[in-house]
Amino acid sequence: MIERLPMFPLGSCFLPGQRLPLHIFEPRYARLVEDALDENPAEPTFGVVLIARGSEVGGGDERYDVGTLARIEAHVRAGDGRYELFCRTRSRIRVLEWLPDDPYPVARAEVWDDENTGTALASYEWTGLVERLDHLYGLLGRLADLTGSDVPAAPELSRFTGGLGERLYEIASYVPMGDADRQGILAAPGADERMRAVAETIENAVDMVQFRLS
């Protein structure tokens, strides 16, 4: 358990392993950055969660309770208390209790490991999932040709590593979807549930692209 974790609610949902650039201009979040850098210079981290209702600026927002740890990999002081941060998300976290803002959001949280690593059926379904992702990118290439836009680069799935749950996060990062769907994938208890959630978002994306092609 992480007893006290600085938190940065965002208007977008991020999955583990993603790049997270941030422009910090609110004084309370500048203080968060300074505290993170001072308290653990070798491993400055904070939590990020999706805002359910409200805005990133000004406070008073409602937040989801499942998010990720973010590590500051590089930072630049931009003057006037502003920072440019270059972060990467890491482990999934679950908020146990929101504490009073002091002056930025703070929570008691824990790292939330997958509750299952995937049944034999889920591992078998991985092959079908990869085929559907390939199909989606074929459709996206046709749509790009039709609209004169850049052809999206298909993911190199052979580079994906880790367990089934981690690889599903990587696949999900290549699927066009909204933040609500991404939050659903993040909040899936384990690899079995995440497999179903990712498969559904791929099929939704296929349907959307086919509609635009028709």
Nearest to 155, CA basis, from 140, 142, 131, 174: 174
Q: What is the pTM of this model?
A: 0.90
What phi, psi does 92 have (nearest 5°)?
Answer: -75, 145
User: Pick from 135, 167, 170, 140: which is nearest to 153 by CA?
Assistant: 140
Q: Where are the domains of the chain?
A: 2-111, 120-213
pLDDT in tens, 111-127: 999 998 888 666 678 88
Q: What is the pLDDT of residue 81?
A: 83
| pLDDT tens per residue, range 46-90 | 999 999 886 655 556 789 999 999 999 999 998 888 999 999 999
Tell the CATH topology of 2-111: 2.30.130
Q: List Cβ neighbours of 84 (8 Å cut-off, separation of 6 or more).
A: 21, 22, 23, 24, 75, 76, 78
The gap from C-alpha 49 to its chain's centroid, in whole angstroms, comes to 9
Q: Per-residue pLDDT tens, the chain, 214 aa: give them.
A: 677 899 999 999 999 999 999 999 999 999 999 999 999 999 999 999 999 886 655 556 789 999 999 999 999 998 888 999 999 999 999 999 999 998 999 999 999 999 988 886 666 788 899 899 999 999 999 999 999 999 888 888 777 778 889 999 999 999 999 999 999 999 999 999 999 999 999 999 999 999 999 8
Which token pair is 108? 């008691």
Cis peptide before 103 (omega within 30 of 0): yes
| Interacting residues of 166 by C-beta distance below 8 A, sequence separation 6+ | 16, 17, 160
